[in-house]
Structure formats: structure tokens, C-alpha cells
Structure 1
Amino acid sequence: MTQPFMKTIKQLQEVHADIKIIERTVEEQSLAIIFLESIVETALSLSYLETSYFEFDKLPTLQWQSTDVPQVIQHLFKGEILLYLKEEDTFATLNAVHQPIKRFIDQPQNEQVVQGPLDSFTEDININIGICRNKIQTEYLETYTAVAGQTRKRKFVFLAMRNDPSIPFIKKLIKRLEKNQGEINHLNDINTAIQIPRHTLLPRISTTELPTNAVDFLQRGRIVFFMDGYPFALMLFKTVFDTFKQPNDLNYPTFLYHAIYGIRILGILIALLLPGLYVALVTVNPEMMKIELALTIMESRLFVPYPAFVEITIMLILIELITEASVRLPSSIASTLGIVGGIILGQAVVEAQLVSSILIIIIAATTIATGTVVGFQHSVSLRFFKYLLIATSAFIGMLGLLIGLLLVCAYLGRTETFGVPFIRFEKEGVKIED
């Protein structure tokens, strides 16, 4: 070591004001107690040290190691207590009682549950694993750990059932994570680390805050893992059926949950096709409508100053702005914004004859139908695909709509993650390429 250990710690203390150093003599040895008071609950932790180690001369029972400054600093910023013996230049670490800065298990905020458990994951990776173990309660649930990242060492924990075919692939993912030289803070960073293309229209790693969904994935031979500090389970591999199915549906009678699946599929088709269908019929192929419907639409658009493609694009972008604003604003204001945007603004643009009244109905139906998709990430992809269909429909009408739909189906058909296709019909566990 180029400089004494305590000098290094005191230099850190100049730029980290929450580093606490307590020096005292125990068993005729000079002992320094070092910790971060912003993370460690000082009074309880020192009381635990006093009663468990100092009073009964149990310091020798700790695992003392030779001082390695980078290793010691890593333990310090993980929230552990460092015990440093000056004469022997050795240190030991202890788990501390932490400040109450972690969120407790709460109801899900992003994925609403009608019938089913109302717990959700938190930012604490150990709590998340405990939730899964509580739901499965078997020794066959195994965990595999990885640590990745340069400045911040992120902890990852992969879950799998014993003898699951995906376990060899999980070990390969762990090696890729640990070899990664960059920081890991977001899902795109994980994609880069495990060699998934970042530029994709479909999320390859899906997320859920519902433990029921994660457990269902585990029991179907999929891969579930957690990142420390991220309150969602990360999952591989999702298929097209997961966009309209979720485990809580099985709490309904068989006929009812199949009917719910049908409603969701209908919602996906409406959200994807209805805007393009409107543009195609109004702009290029009005002869395909009944004469009464065609006259009604033409009458409502009589004084609209621009073509249907521009009209629907403006309204869809306006809805996207309202959606994004509702997500960012406090919930008390977001509801007011929805009323103002959905009712007052919609009525105003119709009365000003900037858009047709028929279009307001189509926009409302499309927006509602988009919400039937299971998983917010998939709804974002669906919102993008509908613009492609609108663009192709504006050029060559119904033929363009069919061409756009064919392009979307072709893209979904060729999308795969490590050899597992997005559109697959097998009921058994996934088959992963090496």
C-alpha cells in the first residue's frame, strides 16, 4: 500500500461527508469503526456491536483480512460496517442495521389486478426473491448470482427451477454480464451486456411488477431475473400470446377467461387497423363503403381543410401528448388533463371544423383498444405499428393497408431472441440456441 489505510479513509471523508469514523480501544487494541451514517442506523448498529462483540471479547471470531483499499471501499459503500485494527492492519466487515430507506411491499401501481394477489416487487432484490420463494415454497427453486458494472456494482439474481433446460443458458448470460465493461443502469444497458440488439421495435426483455406473472414464467420454463434497485422482474422470453394472456385470468371460469382473451385480441386488431382503415376508405377507396356511410363521413368532413391522413395524424399525435403528459404529471392533475384533452378539446376541434366528428369516435376507440394489451411495453410497440399502417393506407388505400399489415406480420415472424421466436405455438419449455 502506498499510504496508510486511515489516511485514505480520511481523504474520502473530505468528499463524502456521511462517512463516520469512531475510534476506540477494545481488548487493548486500537479499533476504528467506519460506516456510512446515511445508510447505517447508527444507534442500533453500535448497540449490536457492543452487546455481541465488545462485551464478550468476540472480535477474534470475525474473519479478519489484510487491508485492500479498493475491496474495503466497495464494502463501505454497500452499507456494511468496517472494523479496522490499526496495529495489525487488518479489517473485518459486519452487516449493519440500515436506515428505513427501502420501500415496503405495496399494491401494484402500473399493472392493475382485478382478481389475484395484490403484492408487487420492490427495489430490494432480497425482498423480491423472498416474495417468489413464498409463492413457490420448494427447494427446487434455485438462484444464480452475477455482479456487473464498473462504477456501481449491480447485483443480478437469476431464478430457475432445478434441472430446468434454461440453466446452462442462464450461466452463459451471467458470464456475459460479468465480462461487460460498461455501466448497467437501464434495460438497454442489459441488452448490450448480454448481446441483444438495442434497436428493435419489440422489447426483448419484458418486465412485470406482479409476482404472479414472474412465478408463472418460472413454472413454464422461462427465465426470470432481478436487478438490484429495479422494482420489476425481468423476463425472457415473451411470445405473442403473452400480449393478451396473464395468469390472473385463470381465476375466472373457463368460458369467461376465453371471452376475455377474445376481447383483448379484438382490441389489438382495432388499435392496429382502425386508423389505417379510416384513411384508406376516406382517401382512396370510398366506393367500398355503403352509400349511406360514405355520405355521412363526407358530410362530416365537408369543411375540414386538409386530407384524412393529415387529420388523423394530428389527432393521434395530440393523444400521444396527452398520454405522455398524464404519465409525467401528478395523479391529481393527470385526471383533470384527461378530461380537458378528451372532452373539451375534442369538442372544440369538431366545432371549429378542424377535424370530423367521425374521426373523434375512431380516435377514442383506438385509444381505448390500445389499453387492452397486456404489458405497457407491448402497447408502445402497437402504437408505433399503427402509424406504419396509416402511412401505407394513405398511398394506395386498402391494398396499402394489407401491405402494411403484411410488413408488421413479417417483422413479428422474424423477431427472435437467442433463437426463441416471438410467434411460437409450442406449449412446452423454450428451446434456446447455444
Structure 2
Amino acid sequence: MRNKIVKELETTFSNQGDFFIEEELVDKTTIFLMGFKTLVDLPKSKLYIQQIEDSSRSAKALFMNLSNRINVNTEQLIEGILEGNLVIVSLDGKQNAVVNPFIQNLRSSVSEPKNESPIQSSTDAFGDDINTNVGMIRKRLTTTSLCHCSYQVGELEKRKLSMLYIEGRTPNALIEKVEQQLKGIKNDIETIDELNLQFGKRRFSPVSHLFATELPISAIHALKRNKIVLFLDNCPFALVFPNLLWDMLFSINDRNFPFILSFMLRFFRVIGLVATLILPALYVALVSVNPEVFKLDLALFVAKSREGIPLTAFLETIAMVVLVDLILEAIVRLPKSVGPAITMVGGIILGQAMVEAKLVSNLLVIVITAVVIASSSVIGMQNSLYIRLLKYPILILASLFGILGVCTGFIFTIIYLASLTSDDIPYMTFRIKKEGEIK
């Protein structure tokens, strides 16, 4: 039989999948242990309580020996749980205590991020253990509004999946849709893309419903922006839903700088995004289709740089773009001990050799180098990959229609991105309105 305090705490944390209530018998008196299993090491804490019980004459003495925060009000008990403490309440509810427990060692499996490079920020990164990942969020976001729902997905391989959101901010309609989609998972989830497909058909689309981040501060920022954060067991990333266009342009780390510097960084990312899409196509259009756009001296310079090259501008650009994408993919896949050598051979020696062999022009090498740098300026590896993919249709149109093809391809790319939705939320939405906000 649970008393009023225990029921109130149970109601307060009813949306928390990692909240526990356990009964223990102490000196023939039942007590309730409560807390978050992602923050409290329950087995060690129980052993500690048993050791203190052996030296206590009564249940009342046990409470006094365990903590100096005894018989506090419900609000202080809630605050104690959110801080990662263990709360103990007697059967009759007359005695309670907030105990400093043995905490989960969140630091043991926490390493530095490998795919993201935060500046002037915490360098912690998510790991493979789902409880550790949720605990890292709870440690930084101590509020009762943070809700945690747990699921088990898969048929042959059961995997834990956690959904986090801030109650009162994330739209209820979005929460209900995501819950329905997660509960409807029947197949095994082995990759992020298989989970991505559960949120709508985008099999042939390079744009994902989910934005993967390994930084706790980025996941917390997404929660504050009324989004949902998913954790999959044995996956060292927080999966933010929905993924929006602005996620590749705006980062929470930007706010560590003055406004003018933050604005400058975001402006450069926009330039990088546009440059990646149109620079190779613009080169082909101006060199082979619309050379009359150049001034005379510039046209002569371009013609001289292409003197003796047997390939057309389109073929040499396609060859260089594909070669650079292959080099970038090889650098990612190869061991770190070999990667720098491949970068040197592929990026410098091979490029110089192709220029000297009159296979590509000096100007094209400059353009391709600028594209590689520009594509790396956006946030998120997956975003850089799909932006690099979208430049190919524009490049083909430019080879056929010149400047008109570049403009048409760029406009159709914007139209395509604007047509994408995630649970009725457009991909190009600037922000998600919180629950109850006037639309």
C-alpha cells in the first residue's frame, strides 16, 4: 500500500521510463526507494543502506544516519530526484530522506567526440550505453518537464529505444505521431536508416528525417527547440527528430561568440552551401556554354588555362568531382595511420599530375578545392554528403543549358527540399511552434 507522498512522486514522474520505485524491508518496516536508474547505481546503494541498517537501532535512526536532509516537503523530494539523488520514504509517509547514492559512472564510457568538433564547449560525447546517454541529458537538464519513454523494438534482436521530449513545449500531435510510429516497429532495427524509414517513405531521398549528433549540448538545444530526441541502444548518437534545413546552418556553439561573430559563421555556412551546389555547374556553364559572359581578358585567361586539354569542360569536371568524392570516402574508411598519406597522394600529387598531363585545367582544380572546403562548412556529416550529391543534377543541367540550367537546377533543388516533410512538419521550417503557441 503506497502512501500519499509515494503516489504523488509516482504521478510526477509517470512519463519517465527510467524512474523506479522499489520496496525494501528494514527493521520489519517497509521503505520505498525512488530515483532515476540512469543516475543512481541501485545495487550499490541498496548494499550501502543495508550496511547502515546494521548499525542503526530503528528505522528512524536509519533515516538520520543516511542523510541530514530528512522529513522534507514533496517539492524538495522532487528536486532531490532530479539532481540524481536517492529518495527514501517510509511506509506511513511520516519519514523521508534525500540520500546521496552511489551514482552511475557516466564518465567511464564518455569520450571526446570523433565526428564533431565543438569550440569553447564541453567535449563529452555520447556512448553505446543508452542509460549513460539518457543520464548525460538528465545531468544537464534537471526539470520535471523532461519526459522519457522507453520502448523495445525488433523481432529477433530486441533493442532498447528511448524517446525524450519536454512536456508543454513539444507539440502533443507530434509526440502522439512519433509514439505511434515507434510502437508500430515490427522489423529489427540495425541501422539509423532503418529507423529513419519508420517516419515516412524517403527510401530514394538523400535527406533523413533524423539528425544525428554525438554532443549532449546539441541534443539539449534540440529539446529546447521543441523537438524530440531518440536514443537507440548500442548507437553512440542522439537522433533528433525532425531534421530541419537550418540544423546544418545553426549550431548552439555559435552562441558562445558575440552576435556579430555568430552571424558571420552562419553566413559563411550559407555561402558554403550555395557554393557546393553551383560552383562546378557554374564552371561548366561559363567555360563551355556561355563563355560570352566573361570579359575579354578573363575569357582569354580561361581559354589559355584549357589549352591542350582533350576533354570537354563537362567531362573534366565530372571526372574531378567523382575523383574527389572517392578520395573523401577513402579517407573516412581507411585507418587514421593511412588516411593522411591518401590525402597527400590524392589531393596534391594526383591533382598536380593531372594538371601537368593536361587532363584538367588549373582553374578547375581551384574550383574543386573550393567545393571540398565549402561542403565541409555545413554542420553534420550526413548533411555534407547529401549536399555533395545534389550538385550532380545541377551540373548536368548546366552542361546542357548553361547559366539557365544552373538557375533552373538550383530552383528545382529548393523546390524539392521545400516539398519534404517529417510528420507534417516541412523540412524548411525555421522552428517548431511549441504546444499552445498561436499559429
TM-score (norm 1): 0.74
Report the AA paired with residue 358 of structure 1: L
Q: Does 1:179 align with 2:184?
A: yes
Q: Distance in 2 between matches of 1:218 and 1:279?
A: 43
Report the AA paired with residue 110 of structure 1: N
Report the AA paired with residue 380 of structure 1: L
Q: Which residue does 1:342 correspond to in 2?
A: 347
Secondary structure of residue in 2 paired with 1:173: helix
Which of 329, 332, 345 matches 2:334? 329
Which of 86, 104, 119 matches 2:109? 104
Q: Which residue does 1:372 correspond to in 2?
A: 377
Secondary structure of residue in 2 paired with 1:200: coil
Secondary structure of residue in 2 paired with 1:221: coil
Q: Distance in 1 between matches of 2:185 and 2:273?
A: 38
Which of 339, 354, 358 matches 1:353? 358
Which of 311, 317, 338 matches 1:312? 317
Aligned-residue offset at 1:431: 9.9
Deviations 1:271-322 (A, max 9, x none): 1111000000011100001111111111111111110000011011111111
1:369–1:181 distance in 2 versus 1, CA, 3 Å: same
Aligned-residue offset at 1:139: 2.1
Secondary structure of residue in 2 paired with 1:122: coil
Which of 392, 401, 409 matches 1:387? 392
Q: Give runs of aligned pairs for residues 251-270 of structure 1, distance below 5 A.
A: 251-270=256-275
Q: Give runs of aligned pairs for residues 244-323 of structure 1, distance below 5 A.
A: 244-323=249-328
Q: Which residue does 1:69 correspond to in 2?
A: none
Report the AA paired with residue 374 of structure 1: I
Deviations 1:24-59 (A, max 9, x none): xxxxxxxxxxxxxxxxxxxxx9xx99xx9xxx9xxx
Q: Give runs of aligned pairs for residues 91-240 of structure 1, distance below 5 A.
A: 104-240=109-245
Q: Distance in 1 between matches of 2:149 and 2:410?
A: 41
1:357–1:103 distance in 2 versus 1, CA, 3 Å: farther
Q: Is the 8 A contact 1:166 1:223 kept in 2?
A: no
Q: Which residue does 1:33 correspond to in 2?
A: none
Q: Distance in 2 between matches of 1:188 and 1:378?
A: 14
Q: Distance in 2 between matches of 1:146 and 1:383?
A: 35
Aligned-residue offset at 1:168: 4.9
1:179–1:111 distance in 2 versus 1, CA, 3 Å: same
Q: Distance in 1 between matches of 2:165 and 2:422?
A: 18
> How many corresponding residue pairs?
339
1:325–1:182 distance in 2 versus 1, CA, 3 Å: same
Report the AA paired with residue 342 of structure 1: G
Secondary structure of residue in 2 paired with 1:146: strand
Deviations 1:169-193 (A, max 9, x none): 3344333333322111112221333
Percent identical among aligned pairs is 35
Secondary structure of residue in 2 paired with 1:331: coil
Extract unaligned runs of 5+ from structure 1: 1-44, 57-99
1:425–1:431 distance in 2 versus 1, CA, 3 Å: farther
Q: Is the 8 A contact 2:196 2:208 kept in 1?
A: no
1:347–1:397 distance in 2 versus 1, CA, 3 Å: same
With CA pairs under 8 Å and 6+ residues apart, which has the higher RCO, 1 or 2? Answer: 2
Extract unaligned runs of 5+ from structure 2: 1-42, 55-104
Report the AA paired with residue 276 of structure 2: A
Deviations 1:398-425 (A, max 9, x none): 0111111111011011111111111124
Q: Distance in 2 between matches of 1:254 and 1:115?
A: 15
Q: Which residue does 1:87 correspond to in 2?
A: none
Deviations 1:57-90 (A, max 9, x none): xxxxxxxxxxxxxxxxxxxxxxxxxxxxxxxxxx
Q: Which residue does 2:66 correspond to in 1?
A: none
Aligned-residue offset at 1:167: 4.3
Report the AA paired with residue 131 of structure 1: M
RMSD between aligned alpha carbons? 2.5
